[in-house]
Structure 1
Amino acid sequence: SDKVRIQYASKYAGSSNYWKNSIGMNKAIIDNKVLETKAEQEARFARYAQEQNNAEYQQVVAQIDAAIEKSNPLLYNFTCFREVFLGGIEFGSPYLVLDQLKEALQNKDAEGQAKAIATLKEVYADIHNKDYDHEVDRKVAKVLLPLYAEMVPATALPAFYSTIEQDFKGDYAAYVDYCYDRSIFSNEANFQKFVKKPSVKAIDKDPMTAFARAKHELMRQLGTELAASMEGMERLHKTYVRGLCDMYAPEPKAPDANF
């Protein structure tokens, strides 16, 4: 429909530009023989390090290669996760706010309940914004969830994938429909019913809240693993760039403006 085309015009353009940009960058790498140039540079640097009898320079390229070999699979997993769960599927749940509401309900804290519900109303309006279509997002989720499972190892799957296997017999479409129909945030009727009579039971049973919690827990895990794998990379990079500057001296050369 025209309405959906208008809603998703910016998102579609962004995705299209991202795709074209990736094609262009890969083409430039090939056309400009970047890999060949870098290989020649590394070979020359290895000879220089040997001539200078500099152990730090002699080891640094192999150390960088080892660090990249370790971090690449983690970067791949994190990139796939980001594309699917941060840039693809839009529907979600503010589980941290619901945690606050749950605590307020358990403690019979009327002020805390009112504050949390006011925040939930803002979040609901933000989810169902003018450029969001629940049915389009449902279709997106049905495609992306199984695709993500095919692309990454089991260790990079959020916990709700176990729910899909155990409770929905691996039926991704059924799971998505359950989340998109039954969640507190699925539609105005569900949301108003909840805010008029919020309960701990409703929060605990909300499928999209479990989805959002599992998603963010895995995001933190993947991010931590990736950061740990990259530890020391900056030092190695600076060593290599310093070595290149030494190799090219006295010719003024800045292999990396960030050095």
Structure 2
Amino acid sequence: MSRPARRVPVTATAPVYRVALVSGANRGLGFEVARQLSERGMTVLLGARDLDKGLRAARQLAGAPGEVIAAQLDVTRQDQVDTLARWIEITYGRLDVLVNNAGGYYDHDASASDGDIGAARAALETHLFGSWRLTTAMLPLMRRHAYGRIVNVSSGCAANSSSSPHCVAYRTSKSALNAYTRTLAEELDGSGIVVNAVCPGWVATALGGPGGRPVEHGAAGIVWAACLPAPAPTGQFFRDGQHIAW
């Protein structure tokens, strides 16, 4: 991690100081989410597996209203998750927003019948278990102030009504993430911590490929869910700020 941000004391007239963590944020959708959160004045921890790439990404956002700080984070590694959680606790004593964005494994042409579950295992390790691991580590920092906004970046292809022979590993892992979202939201209901899933739509990124809509539009729905005022909906599935069916 680079140097910590200057903390602004909370007064009767000052805005509440917010700290956000975005996983998989050195490029694409995660980078744009980090940019938009920083534009709202939040201190944003930009999680990246490759710290050098994270540092380069954070430098691109220098001068934003909220400081952006690169943090090494591979959500499949418990040691990195635990180290980051301890650093956040020591440095800020709080975490207000968590965006579980790290992902990949868009296996468009894979077959559900071919018996090769390697891609599915890898997708689950990142999308489901990575989000689960990171959320579990960060929840104590949210419980401390009875406030949190957890956004799990999902996909419309994971909806129960969606059917296709494509993207079996991606689709299955995001469906599992949706189930985790609903379950955690039920557990935390009334705690001040809300948990929602967001589909950013088909976005023109390295993962989504050309032809999708601008990344700014996909990120905006995630940022909307990360900034919901109280009382906020929880355990819901959204796209562009609108409820969609599980």
TM-score when normalising by structure 2:
0.25
Higher-Rg structure is 1
Q: Specify which structure has the higher proportion of strand.
A: 2
Higher helix share: 1
Structure with higher RCO (Cα < 8 A, 6+ apart): 1
